[in-house]
Amino acid sequence: MIGVTTTRLVAVGDAPELAALLVANRDFLAPWEPFRPAEFFTPDGQAAYLEEVLRLTAAGSAVPHVILDEDGRICGRITLSGIVRGPSLSADLGYWVAEQANGKGRASAAVAHICRLAFGELGLHRVEAGVQPHNAASQRVLHRNGFQRYGLAPRYLHIDGEWRDHVLFQLLSDD
């Protein structure tokens, strides 16, 4: 691992930097991401998307962060979504890092940070993540952070034009 990786709440002002990063990493991320219209990869498209996720944040159902490298540049995104209160106290975890940031421990550090936030400030009990079976790198990130595999969800998400199976992982606050 190099440098220090941190996260912070995303801001609409991050749209141009995120759009440029997404354009530069479009082919790299395609096997792991759902289809996105061309507008999604523009600063205006990112601003509209970020406004929507920040509305979910205000409603208490999502916590979208950017992943920052040691120089404070955005190198990815990490989000707790589908936050459920009541007896469940759970959330889904999703993340990506740019190709140039890949393999440097940035995703692992970001997952550690967001899980501390989930179990601390947010008071959640469970964080869940789904990963395609052939995405060994992302599975390593989850294992490094103490996540346990608990199942397989056939045809779980529509990714890169097809319904894809996902291995399901969880981390509990008392693990």
> Using 50, 70 and 90 to split pLDDT, how confident is the model at 64?
very high
pLDDT tens, position by position, 69-84 = 989 999 999 999 999 9
- CATH number of domain containing 44: 3.40.630.30
Nearest Cα to Cα of residue 5 among 81, 63, 76, 58: 76
The arithmetic mean of pLDDT across residues 16-44, rounded, is 94
> Using 50, 70 and 90 to split pLDDT, how confident is the model at 9?
very high
Place of tokens 């140039």: 100
Query: How many angstroms separate the most distant Cα atoms in the chain?
Result: 42
- Amino acid, single-letter form, for residue 151: G
- Residue at 105 is within a domain: yes
In terms of residue numbers, what domain contains 10?
6-123
- Residue at 173 is within a domain: no
Residue 2 scores a pLDDT above 70: no
Residue 1 scores a pLDDT above 80: no
**What is the distance between the alpha carbons of residues 175 and 14, in angstroms, rounded to a whole number?**
34
The arithmetic mean of pLDDT across residues 79-105, rounded, is 95
Question: Considering its fold, how many domains does the chain have in total?
Answer: 1
- Residue at 164 is within a domain: no
- Residue at 10 is within a domain: yes
pLDDT tens, position by position, 106-160 = 999 999 999 999 999 999 999 999 999 999 999 999 999 999 999 999 999 999 8
